[in-house]
Chains A and B, each alone.
Chain A
Amino acid sequence: MSTVIDLSHVAEAAPGRSIGQKPPDDVLLDVRGLKTYFHVLDGTVPAVDGVDFQIKRGETLGLVGESGCGKSVTSLTIMRLIDIPPGEIAAGEIWFDGVDILSLSPSEMRDIRGSEMSMIFQEPMTSLNPVFTVGYQIAEAVKAHRNVSKNSARDRAIEMLAAVGIPSPERRFKQYPHELSGGMRQRVMIAMALSCDPKLIIADEPTTALDVTIQAQILELMKSIQERTGTALLLITHDLAVVAETVERIAVMYAGRIVEAGTAEEVLLDPKHPYTQGLIASIPSTVPRGQRLNVIKGTVPNPFRMPTGCRFEPRCPHAFGPCKDFDPPLRLTGPNRESACWLQYPPGELPVKETDAPPATPVPVERVGH
């Protein structure tokens, strides 16, 4: 039997953010202890289970992690696009531009969506409505947030189409999504997301569905637009190569949690968390030709049976003493550098399992009325 030990001193080691307190002005997005659960027939899926990260104004953050770790759910929760039910935002705060958006009414949230923060989705083929022209769909976003005439919404849409590098935008304005290639459609989605000059753009695997050459073009476009407009960008991907080229900071996610965060260089060149180390080691180009690819052994934990200690412990090659029983919180390991791993804690701060001198042999339970 383990007793709950006081971890408050450890939690305080995490960046100084106290619940309910407005973050400093230069922080655009501050996600704190966010938990999004899905209540399904089999039980509850803790898709996002205590996510913490920050994005400063104009900053680019890459959120990486393997499939199913909760990246999309995190982004949809930030946009408040989770279907409730089956979803539930069980805990946490999302401070955006000085407001905790989880406390906003649906209509206040609508005013922010698409205007202050907008989103680009993974599937350009299905994310546009097939029965409306692409121009109409961009102009619609403009009209939803700006009190402008139909004509100026149209002009803005054409301007945006030109800005994302679509040739002859006047003609494209009148075309339907099926008349455009996948790359073009993703450009349209980007144009739509940018149309109201948002402060934050969330891109959920914007290039995964595209072929490699188009991927590079789209990433290049997003980078150049981001530099030009100074919008903050949350780029979600499972491709480390993509983040390495595009973002300033990286947050690594595992099983519904952030396990490591830092600048792109720090995280990629000096990964502190064994999961990040495994991820980097498994990039094919880091392995010499002809040699077996590295894989992280084991599988993602079953959401219905999460390990009680560190979620990565069953797969971790460095697991030791506290890992099985205690879940490591994020800890600052440098300026703006965090990691959730007991290896990063000084030995004195490690929690110890208090054992109540367990009996060597189980006490037989007497049965009554046998």
Chain B
Amino acid sequence: MTKYIIRRLLQAIPVIFLISIVCFVLMLMAPGGPQAQFNQNRFIKPEQVDLWLQHWCLVRNPSPPDMIKEYAGWLGVWNCQTQSFISENGGLNFLPSFLGGGVNGMLHGDWGISIYLNQPVLDIILGRLPVTLLLMVTAWIIWLTLALILGVVAAIRRYSFFDQAATLFSYTFYSLPTFWLGLMLIEIFAVTLHWFPSQLIQSPRISPGPFASAVWWQAFWTDPGLYGWDVAMHLVLPVTTLVAVSVAGDSRFVRSAMLESLNQDYVRTARAKGLSERRVIFRHAFRNALLPIITNGALEVAFLFSGAIVTETIFSLQGMGYLYIQGLQAHDYFLLMGIVFIGAILVVVFNLVADVLYAVADPRIRYD
């Protein structure tokens, strides 16, 4: 199994490399660029813009070779200062710096500087990660739990009133766009009823600093109830938005997995043994229905990530999703690449997690 995991991780390297190159090139091909912010400014001359771009190792309207160069610079193969594959230290740029390589680019752990915020990309992302993680993990747990309960009960009581109601609920929410649902929730529960806050992860009135920063934690430990409750209240609407749409689809998935499993011969065998109905359903049927559900649940983490982008934007949560939209508007190539990179790793890792969990749950599957 360890060997298998290592092999899969090695296989992931070219995949992530390909994802990054495709994303980078597509981004450069999109019309406009970071220089667009100067378009309306009469006092900035085109030469000054070119110089500014040069500072970021970019060119206006890059040709395909320029694109490759810019990508190679981001990756750390190309050195922008020396304009060659050779670093200031005299060796090939992609080598580690103690072997004469450069210090720029992902290969050297340098995620670049955000053009828009003028700060190291990695620092920005790490600062925004807690909000996104909190949102995603909370939503994921609630959504899987709900989907399991709804799906299993609907399968056991097939065609009952509960099942029909769950079907109606599912198709309704499944067909709702996330952004619309989010806006409606804000309108009803924040604007009209004032039950929950409509934006941010914490109230500015009591906020000691950015969420999950060192100062914040300090303040948090002085009064966990106050700060915890405040964050929880702020999470209600975004999490509901994220959960509602996904639970709808997933509870259907669980239901059909469970129905299929309940129809298997071994369930009949279990009944013929005289086992209790509870044991037949949960030990025999559910245990088997879990196999596709595990795969599905792990793969959905990637969807969750993209769902977080929309949700964070609607609720102005200062997480990675919101950051991504900001970066997109500013053509902040390096910031965007940083986030895309994390997304790609998430997808690859959770694909692997799905496969590993499957092998753990199903004795028929053996890797190696």
**Chain A residues engaging chain B, CB cutoff 8 angstroms:** 79, 81, 106, 110-115, 118-119, 121, 123, 126-132, 140-141, 144-145, 176, 178, 189, 192
Contacts and interface: CB of A to CB of B under 8 A. Distances in A.
B204 interface: no
Contact of B273 (A106, A123, A140, A176): A140
Interface in B250-297: 264-266, 268-277, 279, 284, 287-288, 291
B272 A129 contact: no
B263 to A, nearest CB: 10
5 contacts: A81-B268, A126-B265, A129-B269, A130-B364, A176-B364
Contacts of A144: 273-276, 279
Top 8 closest A-B pairs, CB basis? A114-B274, A113-B274, A114-B273, A129-B266, A126-B265, A141-B273, A176-B363, A127-B265
Nearest to B266: A129
B274 A131 contact: no
A231 to B, nearest CB: 16
A123 B265 contact: yes
A81 B363 contact: no
Contacts of B268: 81, 121, 127
B123 interface: no
Nearest to A85: B159
B165 interface: no
Contact of A114 (B265, B272, B362): B272
A112 B275 CA distance: 11
B272 A118 contact: yes
Contacts of A140: 273, 275
Given A129-B284, A129-B288, A130-B288, A141 B265 contact: no
Contacts of B264: 126
Interface of B: 264-266, 268-277, 279, 284, 287-288, 291, 361-364
Contacts of A126: 264-266
Nearest to B270: A129
Contacts of B288: 129-131
A123 B271 CA distance: 16
Which of A126, A129, A130 is most buried by chain B, counting CB atoms within 10 A of its CB? A129
Given A127-B266, A129-B266, A178 B363 contact: yes
B269 to A, nearest CB: 5
A122 to B, nearest CB: 9
Contacts of A129: 266, 269-270, 284, 287-288
Given A129-B288, A131-B361, A112 B269 contact: no
Which of A79, A113, A126, A131 is most buried by chain B, counting CB atoms within 10 A of its CB? A131
B262 to A, nearest CB: 10
A181 to B, nearest CB: 15
Nearest to B284: A129
B1 to A, nearest CB: 17
A130 B265 CA distance: 11
Given A127-B265, A130-B362, A130-B364, A113 B287 contact: no
A121 B265 contact: yes
A115 B271 contact: no
A112 B268 CA distance: 15
Contacts of A123: 265
A192 B273 CA distance: 8
A105 to B, nearest CB: 13
Nearest to B275: A144
A127 B273 CA distance: 12
B231 to A, nearest CB: 40
A79 B266 contact: no
Contacts of B271: 81, 113
Given A129-B284, A129-B288, A119 B362 contact: no
Nearest to B271: A81
A176 B362 CA distance: 10
Given A131-B362, A132-B287, A144-B273, 19 more contacts: A79-B272, A81-B272, A110-B275, A110-B276, A112-B274, A113-B271, A113-B274, A121-B268, A126-B264, A126-B265, A127-B266, A127-B269, A128-B269, A129-B284, A130-B288, A140-B273, A144-B275, A176-B363, A192-B269
A12 B59 CA distance: 104
Contacts of B364: 130, 176, 178
Contacts of A128: 266, 269
B219 to A, nearest CB: 48
Contacts of A176: 363-364
A131 B269 contact: no
Nearest to A138: B273
A118 B275 CA distance: 12
Contacts of A189: 269
Contacts of A110: 274-276
B265 A131 contact: no
B272 A131 contact: no
A115 B273 CA distance: 7
Given A121-B268, A131-B288, A115 B274 contact: yes
Contact of B274 (A127, A130, A141, A178): A141
Contact of B269 (A106, A111, A121, A178): A121
B216 to A, nearest CB: 45
A60 B271 CA distance: 24
A91 to B, nearest CB: 23
B287 A111 contact: no
Contacts of B277: 106
A178 B271 CA distance: 21
Contact of A111 (B272, B274, B279, B361): B274
A244 to B, nearest CB: 27
Nearest to A178: B364
A127 B277 CA distance: 17
Nearest to A141: B273
A118 B273 CA distance: 7
B362 A113 contact: no
A126 B284 CA distance: 13
A126 B273 CA distance: 15
A193 to B, nearest CB: 8
A57 to B, nearest CB: 21
